[in-house]
Amino acid sequence: MTIPIAMIIGVYMFRIKRRCSFGSIAGVIMVCAAVFIGPYVAESNIAGWFTFNKNQLSLFCPIYGFGPPSVWLFLAPRITSALL
């Protein structure tokens, strides 16, 4: 969940509002919520959505690594904080 949370906070801070304090607080709260909710998701019916085999991971990792949107989404909070 840390990757989607980082992307959401990155878009929020870069495109919507340039408030680092709110983005940081929201990111910490979202990560803590994901940690606490994680065991319940692992025992639920949707656990299969988040479980990948070796072949799926070997396909998803390069797509994610070479995908152009992932770079600016992760750098957006850093760029925004540098501009403030």
Residues 6+ away with beta carbon under 8 Å from 64: 70
Q: Count how many domains the chain has.
A: 1
Q: Please tell me the least confidently modeled range out of 13-22, 28-37, 66-75.
A: 66-75
- How far does Cα 11 stand from its chain's mean position? 10
Domain that holds residue 11: 2-83
Confidence label for 35 from pLDDT (cuts 50, 70 and 90) = very high
Average model confidence (pLDDT) across the chain: 79
The CA-based angle 59-65-50, given to 5 degrees, is 55
Is the CA virtual torsion 42, 43, 48, 52 positive or negative? positive
| pLDDT-based confidence at residue 40 (cuts at 50, 70, 90) | very high
